[in-house]
Amino acid sequence: MVRYIAYRSLVAIFLVWVVVTLVFLLLHLIPGDPAELLLSQGSIAPDPQAVAALREKMGLNAPLWQQYLDHLGGLLSGDLGASFRDGAPVIEQIATRLPRTLEVIFTAALLASLAGVPLGTWAAIRAGGKADGFVSLLASAALSTPVFVVGSVVILIFAQQLKWLPAGGFVPFSEDPVQHLKLLILPAGTVALSLWAVITRMTRASVLEVLERDHVRTARAKGLGRNTILRRHVVRNALIPVLTVLGLEMGTLIGGTVLVEFVFNWPGLSGYLVAAVDARDYPEVVGIVMTISVLFVFLNLVVDVVNAALDPRISLVTP
Amino acid sequence: MSRSTRKLLLPGGIVLALVTVLLLAPLLPLHDVRAMDIPNRFAGPSAAHWLGQDEFGRDVLARLIWGGRASLFIAVGSALAAATIGTLLGLLGGYFRGVVEVLTVRAAEVLLCLPPLLLALLVVTILGAGTWPLILALTLLYTPNYARVAYAATLQVRGLDYVTAQRAMGAPPLTILGRTILPNVLPPLLVQMSLVVASAMVIESGLSFLGLGVVPPTPSWGLMIRAARGAMEQAPMLLVWPSLALAGTILTFNLLCDRLQTALDPREVTKGGALWMRRPGRRKTAAARRHGAADDNGPLVEICNLAISVGRTPQIDLVRRAGLTVMPGETVALVGESGSGKTLTSLALLGLLPDQLRVSAGEMRYRTRAGAVLDLAQMDEEAFRALRGPEVSMVFQDAAAALNPVHRVGDQLAEALRAGGLTGERAVQARVVELLRHVGIPEPERRRRAYPHELSGGQRQRAMIALAVANSPRLLVADEPTTALDPTIQAQILDLFRKLKTDTPDMGLIFVTHDLAVVSELADRVVVMYAGEVVETGPVAEVFARPKHPYTAALIASVPEGAADQLRAIPGSVPPPHDMPPGCRFAPRCDHALPQCTSRVPETSHPEASRSSRCIRWKEVC
C-alpha cells in the first residue's frame, strides 16, 4: 500500500510537470509575440512602446529555457506572480477564492452521491422495468441540459417565481451562517444535478455488473439477508468504479464551475478565471490554470488511493 | 429491421429534421435577425412573430433558428476537424506503434491533463473570442478522444488474420490503413461523433453565455440565454425557448449516441436486474407445502420429476424428469457431460437458479432438522434464506470468483456465522479460526485476515468449503469443487471432503462432477444425467460394473484407465436445449438405438430395487 501510494504520487508529480510545461508552451510557442497578442484589441495594432514595456515586465527578452526555469522556480516557491490589473499577488486571490469553489463542489458531490447511489442501485435491481426506464430518462435529460441553463431556469423558478431563495450572491459563513447556506443551496444543487445523473448511471451499470458475479450467489448461499447482501456484497463492490468517476468529475468541475459561479454570482476561483481571461491578465490566468490543474491531478491521486483501499487487489498492479 | 435499428429512427429523424431546417434557414421566410423594433420589445407571440420579440424587439424564432445554425456549425465543424485529425493520429499510432505512437496518440493525450473548459478558456485567452477560435479550441479538445478510440480499434483490427495476410502479401501500409482498417474502425468513431457534437454544443453555448464565444450580434443560443437572464421578470419565456432548444438538441444527440452504440454492439442485454432482490409478492407467494412429519429414516432430499425451464412461449426445458434421492450421511455423485443439467439441478436445490430460469414442474421434498418436509420447488427467496446455511449449503466450482474480493476471508466466514445465529464477537472469531483450521488452512489466526487473492488456489477452495460448512449443513451440494484445481491439489481437496464425511456422518453430500474416478472414490450412489434428463441411478460399484444405460456405458468406456489400451470417445455431442430429439435424447449418439427409440420417450425401468435406467433396451445393453 505504501509503495503504491508512493508510486501514484510520483506519477502525479510527473503529470503536474506535464501540465505546467504544456501551459508554458501554449503561451510561449504560439506564433506571434504574446505581449503583442495580449495587448491587441481586435485588429488595432498595439502601441510598440507598450509592447516593449510588457515584454520586459513578462521577462520575454530572456532565452526561452531561462524563462522556463524561472517559471518553474517561481511555481516551486509558491510565487505565481502579480496581477497585471492591480499588481496584487495572484496567490492571495486564489487562497481566498478557492475554498469557496471547493465548497460548492463538495456540497454538490455530497448531494449527488446521497441521491445517485440509492437511485442507481434501485434502478439496477429493476433493470428493464418501467421504473428503471424513468430513472434513465431523467438522468439523460439532466446530463443533456447545460449547467448554465439549469442555473438560469432554477433562478427563474425558485428565486423569481416562488421567491424561496435568493437568486445569487455570497456572504461569508462567519458573517451570516444562515444566509451563507441559503446562498449555497442553488449553485450546489445546480452542480449536483448533472453530477447526480453521472453517479446514477454509473451506479446502475456497476451494480448490474456486480449482481452477475459469482460472489453474490455465494452470499445468497450463505443465507445472508437481502439488505446485507445488497450493502456488503453488491453496493460495496459496485462503488469502486463509481468513486473513480466521481473523482474525475469533481476534478473537471474545479475548472468547470465557471458557468455556475457566473450564473449565481458566486465569487469563486472560476469566476476569477473568466475575469482574468476577459482582461487577458496573463499571470492571473496562468496562476489559476496551474492551481486547478494541480488540484485536478491531486484529486485523481486521492481517487486512486481510495480505490486501492476499497479494492485490495489494486495495489498489486504497481509495476 | 431489428429492434435496436428501429430505436435509432426517432433520434436520427429529429437530427435530420433539425439539420434540414437549420441548413434551409436562408431560404425560410424568417425575419432579419438584426432588425430591431424597440417599441415592441418583449412583445408576446403574434401572427408575425410566432415566439414573440426580444429585448430589442427582434424576432425570437428567427434568432432561435439562426442561433442553432451557429451552434451546430461550430459543434459539427470542430467535431469533423477533430475526427479527421484524431482518427489519423490514432490509425498511425495504432498501426506503427513504437515512436509513432508516442508522437501521435500519447502526444494528443497530454491535452487530457487539463480540464476541458479550462483548455477552451486558455485558447480563447490567446486568440480572443469568436467563431474560429472556438472551433480551434473545440478541435483541440476532442482530438485526443478520437485518437484514443481510433487507436484502440486499430490495435484490435491489426491483429486480425486478414490484415496480417495483406501485410504478408506486401500491401503498402497506407493502402492497408485506408482500405482495410479504416472501414473497420468507423463504427466506434461514429458513436464518438454524436457524443462529441453534443459535448461541443455544451461548451460552445457555455462560452458564448460567458461572452467568450460567439460575438454579438451573431445570434447563438448561449447568447440568447445570457440576454434573457437580464429580462427574467418581464419576459421569462425568452429564457425558456433557447433553453429548450439547447437541451433538446443535446439530448437528441446523446440519445442518438446511446442507440447507435446499442445498434452497433447488440451484445448488451437490456433485461437484467435481480428478481430475488425485489420484495416478495411478485414471485411464488405460497410458502412450502408441508407434508407433515415423516419417519426419521426417510430420505433427506427426494427430487421427483423435476423440470427447469427457460421462456414461456415457447418454453424450453433445460432439465426435465430429473429425480434423485439422498439419504442422511449418503454421498450421491451427479455426473454427466457439460450441458447435462447437473449444475442447474444442484442450484435449484438452494433456490439459486439464474433469474431467467425457473422450476416448472416436479417436487423437491426436503426433510428439515425439525422433521418437517418442505417442497423446495414451491419456496420463495425468503423461505430459502432460512434454509441456506444450517440446512442446505453449497461449495462452488470457482472459489476465486465465488469469494468476494474486497472482504477478508475471515470476515466472509464471520458473516455466514452471524447469519446462522451465532452471536458475540469473540465466539464468532473463535469459530472462524476453528473452521479455517478444520479445513486445513495453516496459521488460521493470520490467514483469516487475508483477502481471497492473497491465498493460493487450493487454500481459496478450502476457505470456500469452510464457508459452506460453517453452519453445519445437513445437505452439502458441491458443484465440481476440484475442476479448477491442478491434480495434486484436487487430491487434497478430495481428502478434505472425505474428512468432512467422517467428521459429520449425518451430512448428505451431492457431489457434482464429470470425473468418474472421483465418483468411485467418494460416492455411495451415482446419478447419471444426459441432456437435462436423469438416465441412470444406482450404487456406484454396481453401476460401474454393470451399467444399464448405453450412455453410462459409453461414459465409463471413455475414461482413460491404466489397463484399458483404447480410449473410446462418445461420438457426436449433447444436442442443444432448443433442438432436442423427440424420443430418447441419447438415441442419435447411441449404438443400440432402435427405430422406436427416436419416436417414443422411454419410461424409467428398475432393473433392481436400488437402480433405475431410462432405456428400453437396458436388458441387452450390458
Nearest to A144 among B250, B454, B464 (CB): B250
Interface with B, mutate which of A222, A236, A291, A298 (most B CBs under 10 A) = A222
Are B66 and B27 within 8 A, CB to CB? no
Nearest to B453 among A126, A254, A313 (CB): A313
Q: What is the pLDDT of residue A315?
A: 63
Q: What is the pLDDT of residue B1?
A: 59
Report chain B's mean pLDDT, rounded to a whole number: 84
Q: Which long-range contacts (CB under 8 A, 24 or more apart) does A131-135 make?
A: A132/A204, A132/B273, A135/A200, A135/A204
Q: Per residue in A30-72, pLDDT tens? A: 655 666 666 666 556 677 787 777 777 767 777 778 888 887 8
Q: For the residues A254-270, what does the mean pLDDT come to?
A: 84
Q: What is the pLDDT of residue A316?
A: 57
Question: Cβ contact (<8 Å) for A124 and B273?
Answer: yes
Q: How confident is the model at residue A257 (pLDDT cuts 50, 70, 90)?
A: confident
Q: How confident is the model at residue B288 (pLDDT cuts 50, 70, 90)?
A: very low
Q: What is the pLDDT of residue B568?
A: 62
Q: How far is A77 from chain B (nearest CA, A)?
A: 22
Residue A19 — φ and ψ, nearest 5°?
-65, -45
Are B86 and B45 within 8 A, CB to CB? no
- Does the structure show a pLDDT above 70 at B203? yes
Interface with B, mutate which of A143, A144, A294 (most B CBs under 10 A) = A144
| Residue of chain B minimizing CA distance to A235 | B406
Q: For the residues A89-100, what does the mean pLDDT come to?
A: 88
Q: How confident is the model at residue B286 (pLDDT cuts 50, 70, 90)?
A: very low
The residue ranges of every structural domain in chain B are 72-264, 288-391+473-619, 403-470
Q: How confident is the model at residue B576 (pLDDT cuts 50, 70, 90)?
A: confident
Q: For the residues A228-243, what does the mean pLDDT come to?
A: 90
Gap between the Cα atoms of A90 and A68, Å rounded:
19
Nearest to B210 among A153, A259, A311 (CB): A259
Nearest to A30 among B126, B451, B464 (CB): B126
Question: Cβ contact (<8 Å) for A223 and B386?
Answer: yes
Higher-scoring residue by pLDDT: B184, A17: A17
Q: How big is the A-B interface in CB pairs under 8 Å?
A: 233
Q: What is the pLDDT of residue B526?
A: 94
Gap between the Cα atoms of B49 and B28, Å rounded:
14
Are B139 and B82 within 8 A, CB to CB? yes
Any chain B CB within 8 A of the CB of A297?
yes
| Residue of chain A minimizing CA distance to B115 | A252
Q: Per residue in B99-121, pLDDT tens? A: 887 777 777 777 776 777 777 87
Which residues, at least 6 apart from B263, have a Cβ–Cβ distance to it below 8 Å?
A: B2, B4, B5, B7, B8
Greatest mean pLDDT among A83-97, B54-68, B183-197, B239-253: B239-253
Q: For the residues B34-57, what does the mean pLDDT come to?
A: 75
Q: For the residues A90-115, what does the mean pLDDT come to?
A: 92
Any chain B CB within 8 A of the CB of A201?
no
Chain B contacts in chain A segment 132-161 (CB below 8 A): 132, 140-141, 143-149, 152-153, 155-156, 160-161
Q: What is the pLDDT of residue A161?
A: 83
Range in A19-23, B80-84, B140-144, B515-519 with the lowest mean pLDDT: A19-23
Q: What is the pLDDT of residue B602?
A: 86
Q: What is the pLDDT of residue B370?
A: 86
Interface with B, mutate which of A126, A143, A213, A218 (most B CBs under 10 A) = A218
Count the alpha carbons within 13 Å of B512 in the hemisphere toward its beta carbon: 23
Residue B77 — φ and ψ, nearest 5°?
-60, -50
Q: For the residues B241-254, what does the mean pLDDT come to?
A: 89
Q: How confident is the model at residue B296 (pLDDT cuts 50, 70, 90)?
A: low
Question: Cβ contact (<8 Å) for A255 and B118?
Answer: yes
CATH annotation of B288-391+473-619: 3.40.50.300
Gap between the Cα atoms of B308 and B139, Å rounded:
56
Gap between the Cα atoms of A20 and B460, Å rounded:
48
Look at residues B111, B71, B78 and name the one whose alpha carbon lies nearest to residue B204: B71
Interface confidence: ipTM more than 0.90: no
Are B487 and B318 within 8 A, CB to CB? no
Q: How confident is the model at residue B523 (pLDDT cuts 50, 70, 90)?
A: very high
Q: What is the pLDDT of residue B198?
A: 87
Cis-peptide, bond into residue B217, ω within 30° of zero: yes
Q: How confident is the model at residue B536 (pLDDT cuts 50, 70, 90)?
A: very high
- Does the structure show a pLDDT above 80 at B43? no
Q: For the residues A81-87, what does the mean pLDDT come to?
A: 77
Nearest to B396 among A126, A214, A285 (CB): A214
Q: Per residue in A117-162, pLDDT tens? A: 999 999 998 888 888 889 988 998 898 888 888 988 898 889 888 8
Any chain B CB within 8 A of the CB of A26?
yes
| Residue of chain A minimizing CA distance to B274 | A125
Give the bridge partners for B316, in sequence order.
Answer: B310
Question: Cβ contact (<8 Å) for A218 and B206?
Answer: no
Question: Cβ contact (<8 Å) for A277 and B212?
Answer: yes
Count the alpha carbons within 13 Å of A159 in the hemisphere toward its beta carbon: 21
Any chain B CB within 8 A of the CB of A58?
no
Nearest to A221 among B121, B236, B393 (CB): B393
Q: For the residues B466-493, what does the mean pLDDT come to?
A: 90
Q: For the residues A167-191, what does the mean pLDDT come to?
A: 89
Gap between the Cα atoms of A53 and B592, Å rounded:
104
Q: What is the pLDDT of residue B276?
A: 79
Q: What is the pLDDT of residue A248?
A: 79
- Does the structure show a pLDDT above 50 at B150? yes
- Does the structure show a pLDDT above 80 at B158? no
Q: How confident is the model at residue B283 (pLDDT cuts 50, 70, 90)?
A: very low
Q: Chain B partners of A23 at a C-beta cutoff of 8 Å? A: 114, 122
Cis-peptide, bond into residue B188, ω within 30° of zero: no
SS3 B145: helix
CATH annotation of B72-264: 1.10.3720.10
Question: Cβ contact (<8 Å) for B273 and A211?
Answer: yes
- Does the structure show a pLDDT above 90 at B430? yes
Q: How confident is the model at residue B460 (pLDDT cuts 50, 70, 90)?
A: very high
Range in A19-28, A151-160, A253-262, B327-336 with the lowest mean pLDDT: A19-28
Gap between the Cα atoms of B483 and B14, Å rounded:
54
Say if residue B578 is exposed, middle or buried (CB neighbours under 10 Å; 0-12, 13-18, 19+). exposed
Q: Per residue in B66-91, pLDDT tens? A: 888 888 899 999 999 999 999 889 88
Question: Cβ contact (<8 Å) for B453 and A274?
Answer: no
Q: What is the pLDDT of residue A319?
A: 45
Q: What is the pLDDT of residue B265?
A: 66
Q: What is the pLDDT of residue B560?
A: 67
Question: Cβ contact (<8 Å) for A128 and B270?
Answer: yes
Gap between the Cα atoms of B216 and A39, Å rounded:
22
- Which segments of B451-534 does DSSP mark as H helices, in order? 457-469, 487-503, 516-522
